[in-house]
Every structure is written in structure tokens, then in C-alpha cells.
Structure 1
């Protein structure tokens, strides 16, 4: 009887892992990731599409370089750098390091780094929201 209970508990523990675990190799992360939704900390602050304050995308290249482009009020800014993929526990995220200072870097640290994590297999989210920045969600388009 005890062995049946132990097996049952082991089964529950092994099958109760989060359904949001993401395998980066399955996501085919290289390509263009466009901003599709932004929201602030206040109620009803979520916007999407043309209603967003700016339009933005990341282009992640297979040689671990990236370009970020933001268009706001008809002006487009671009910045480049390198990225690395990090897996920490069940979370997979990109650490982007910019080549030079830019006003389009969304970071809590005030340095040349940004982080994006997979909310699920097809949505990247900026960590900027952790320090009162907006929640920015990106979907792969190419």
C-alpha cells in the first residue's frame, strides 16, 4: 500500500510542472519580433496596434546580433547589439547588450542591457515592467 502511495505522489509531482515551459529550439527565435501590445500599471491602460504610443520591433539574427527599431511621432530610431539566450530554472530569456547608449533601451538598470523572456512559445515580454516601465509584448512575424 505504501509503495502505491509513493508512486502516486511521484506521478503527481512529475506531471504537475508548469505548462508554460518553453524550449527555445522549438520557438525558432531568430527573426522579426513586433510589438503587439503595451500596458501600464493603471486600469484599462492596455493598447495594441496603431493605438500604441509607438511601433517597435526586434530583428534577432542567427549570428547572435540584433537590431531594435522604434517609430514614434513619425521618427524612427534604430540601435544594434548582441544577444545571448539564458535558461534559468523554467524561464528562458534573451539578454540584449547594446553597442551604444540609446533612448529606446527599455531597462531597469540604466545600462546597455535589456531582457526579454518567453511568456509562452510565441510571446516575448520585456522585463521593463519590473521597474514601472510598460509591459511590452512581442510576437514573431518572420
Structure 2
């Protein structure tokens, strides 16, 4: 009788669970160009690009290299490096390591590494805002 009761409970639990799965980022979808679409500060607010004064993008290559470009005051700054990925809490996380120091590296530690993740909405977000930097949000170009 116990076995029937346990089987019934397990079957009921299985049936009552939803088939809906949380969207999980696909590791193969990261490569390509990601363009800055939103900047947030302490008070979340969209900043229109003509008021922002600069534009920024990342290009992630399938060979685990990347290029970050910033255009500000008609000057283009480009830096490169390599990255590693890890899936944490259903988000695809990136740790970028730059080849050389540059002012456009958004880091809390002041070294040559930068951390980003692709959130559930499919947007690339930085971790710089965790240490009073701006929140930068990027969308993949099609």
C-alpha cells in the first residue's frame, strides 16, 4: 500500500509541475555585435544617444576573442582581448581579459578584467554598476 501511495504522490507531483521552462541563453548565440542601448545610474533612466555623447559596442568572436569599441568626440577607441564563459543561475556570464589597459574598460577592480552577462531578456549587461559605475545594457545587432 505504501508503494502505491508513493507512486501516486510522485505521479501527482509530476503532473502538477508546469512544462514551461525559463528561457535559457544559448551559448552559441553570443557571437556577433552587441550595441549599447541603455545607460542607468543610481536612478534607472534611459539616456538618449544624442544626449549620451558616446556610443559603444562589443564584438564577440567564436574563437573566444572580443573587440570593444567606443566612439566619443569623433574619436574611436578600440581594445581587444579574450574571454571565458560560464552559465550561472541560468545566465550566460562572460569574463573578459583585455590585452592592455584602457579607460574604456568597465571594471570594479581596476585591472584588465570586465564581467558581463546575458540576462533572461537576451540583453548583455555589465557588472560595473555593482561598484557605483554606470549600468550599461547592450542589444545584439541583427
TM-score range, shorter chain: 0.7 to 0.9
Calculate the TM-score normalised by the size of structure 1. Answer: 0.82
Show structure 1 runs of 5+ residues with no match: none
Greater CA radius of gyration, 1 or 2?
2
How far, CA to CA, are the matches of 2:62 and 2:101 in structure 1? 23
Two-structure CA RMSD over aligned residues (Å): 2.3
Q: Does 1:22 align with 2:25?
A: yes
- Preserved CA contact (<8 Å) 1:94 1:117: yes
- Preserved CA contact (<8 Å) 2:83 2:95: yes
- Preserved CA contact (<8 Å) 1:123 1:140: yes
- What is the CA distance between 1:51 and its match in structure 2? 3.0
Calculate the TM-score normalised by the size of structure 2. Answer: 0.82
**CA distance change for structure 1 residues 20 and 105 in 2, over 3 Å: closer, same or farther?**
same
Count of residues in Structure 1 that have an aligned counterpart in Structure 2: 138
How far, CA to CA, are the matches of 1:92 and 1:11 in structure 2? 30
- What is the CA distance between 1:74 and its match in structure 2? 2.3
- The 5 A counterparts of 1:5-84 are 5-10=9-14, 15=19, 19-25=22-28, 27=29, 29-42=30-43, 45-84=45-84
